[in-house]
Structure 1
Amino acid sequence: MTPQAPFPAPELNRLTDRQTARIRLYCVPPSGTGSEFFLPWVATFSALFDLVAVDLPGRGTRTGEPSITDIGWAATGIAEAIAADLRHRPPADGFYAVFGHSFGALLAFEATHRLRSSSRTEPDLLALSAVPPPNRDGLDDHIAHNLGSGIAVITEIMGWEAPADDALARTVYTPFLADAVALLHHTRQEWPPLRARLSVFGGLDDPMVDPGTLHEWGACTTADARVHRFPGGHHYLRTQVAEVVGRLTDDLLAAYRSPASG
């Protein structure tokens, strides 16, 4: 008998379905959210880009499913979903990239290494937002220090307004708490450097990630790494979609025109 999987698998949601796009971008949302987090991006990216977002169980359209509480399991599932998508529907020029914000950035980083080790592929560009480099204190430390401070602090960490009723609170906080458990149980691995280019984004006033350390992500690749800092805190991205997408577009096009050496 085949053992039952401990969690439902991550899924992909095609936000644009642009079959003639030259660049495919897989997007991993932050804690507690689903693919809907990236809907504001759709109108901002040109037709050159095809946007595909990750949907994790327990949030968004998958609210009724149990959340994943293991980062390794989630990252492996994301890598498998991306690898299957690349096989069944390869990008027009074979170029693809991965982006993640906050908890989603950690998942994107872990999934990228699993793509390389299991599927012998890695993105042409990996973009990471609001996440400390591996050699620094992680999001897990911030969670550990503040989780016992109550709902107000949790709401601040998530970057949302407090839910108006109990039913909505369960919908909002349950996946976040599952992600907190995953972070607190996570053991960081030492990965060899990637070949992919890196784009690193962060807020100048982020209490969870020191913006002065973002350049240290450069040690995680043999290619070049660009760092972009924006006004705001951990969730600077929500109020500066056009600015972030503009910088990301520049980096994607630069990588597309001049691929990193293998």
Structure 2
Amino acid sequence: MTAAPAQSQAWVRRYRPAPDAAVRLVCFPHAGGSATFYYPVAQALAPVLDVLAVQYPGRQDRHTEPPVDDIHVLADVVTEELVAGWNDRPLLLFGHSMGAMVAYEVACRLQRRGTVPVGLFASGRRAPSTYRDENVHLADDEGLVAEMRRMQGTDAQVFEDEEILRMILPAVRSDYRAVETYRHQPAPPLNCPVVALNGRDDPQVTPQEAQAWESHTASGFRLLTYPGGHFYLSAQAPEVLREIREFALTAAPAGTGGGTAPRG
């Protein structure tokens, strides 16, 4: 496992500053993903929300930095970044796939420090307390590429460029290792609402595994299911963004650190 890297402002991207927004939305990428995945989110939700996107090391402009293969280490560093520089207004967390796990662990850490997020949106990932025995990170490069194709979350042009593909594989493998070796450490339920989102045909998450997120909150739960697979977000972005916007507008008054139960 990797040691905690030095803190850096490179961990957070703010593509469309919204200084008058009452709530900050912090977005966590999927395995192999990057902060730019959430550029359209920032464009769509500003100025209602001040959107931050987390940039993991080992990709894009951080490609020279070693990737981090431990969810808990990632959560430790991101929590410090948020508390140090972005904690002047309530935080709403959104993570997809691996990002949902990082977001959950960050929420737990923020709660322990007395800064409860107004909510957690956990997309395309089974609950932390569920478990599958997975070992994609141990596959050879061809096996890893096959898994990337199966998930349908990587631009098809990437697979046609051998140089780019080989450049991103170390970060992808590291992310898969982080997800597949993650073990939930029992923690008190979150004192904020949790909204689980899932694609109806996602092979990575059953309805029961998505519903299990309910056990991780003491403050309200909703499960939203959309047409599509693991990357249902691509086609369902307008509906998901509407849910986030409406939640943020009703979840908590400006300047508070806790949330109310979500609608429904």
TM-score, with normalisation over the residues of structure 2? 0.86
The equivalences for 1:103-118 within 5 A come to 103-117=98-112
Counterpart position of 2:117: 123
SS of alignment partner, residue 240 of structure 1: helix
Residues 120-168 of structure 1: CA deviation (Å, up to 9, x unaligned): 2120111110110123225xx3444994672222332362125222220
Residues 173-227 of structure 1: CA deviation (Å, up to 9, x unaligned): 2211011222233222111101011111110000000134322211111111111
Match among 127, 150, 175 for residue 133 of structure 1: 127
RMSD over aligned CA atoms reads 2.4
- 1: CA distance, partners of 2:196 / 2:223: 5
Matched, 1:190 2:193: no
Match among 195, 199, 215 for residue 195 of structure 2: 199
Counterpart position of 1:7: 5
Residues 99-126 of structure 1: CA deviation (Å, up to 9, x unaligned): 1000011111111112222x32120111
- 2: CA distance, partners of 1:206 / 1:166: 28
> Could you tell me whether the CA contact under 8 Å between 1:29 and 1:104 is conserved in 2?
yes
List alignment gaps of at least 5 residues for structure 1. Answer: none
- 2: CA distance, partners of 1:155 / 1:200: 25
- 2: CA distance, partners of 1:163 / 1:64: 21
> Could you tell me whether the CA contact under 8 Å between 2:193 and 2:221 is conserved in 1?
yes
Counterpart position of 2:151: 157
TM-score, with normalisation over the residues of structure 1? 0.86
Count of aligned pairs between the two proteins: 250
C-alpha displacement of 1:5: 5.3
The equivalences for 1:1-262 within 5 A come to 6-9=4-7, 11-87=11-87, 90-91=88-89, 95-117=90-112, 119-138=113-132, 141-144=133-136, 147=139, 150=143, 151-157=145-151, 159-160=153-154, 161=156, 162-256=158-252, 259-260=259-260
Residue identity in the other structure for 2:125: V
Residue identity in the other structure for 2:48: L
- 2: CA distance, partners of 1:37 / 1:52: 11
- 2: CA distance, partners of 1:44 / 1:212: 31
> Could you tell me whether the CA contact under 8 Å between 2:119 and 2:193 is conserved in 1?
yes
Q: 1:167 to 1:38 in 2, by over 3 A?
A: same
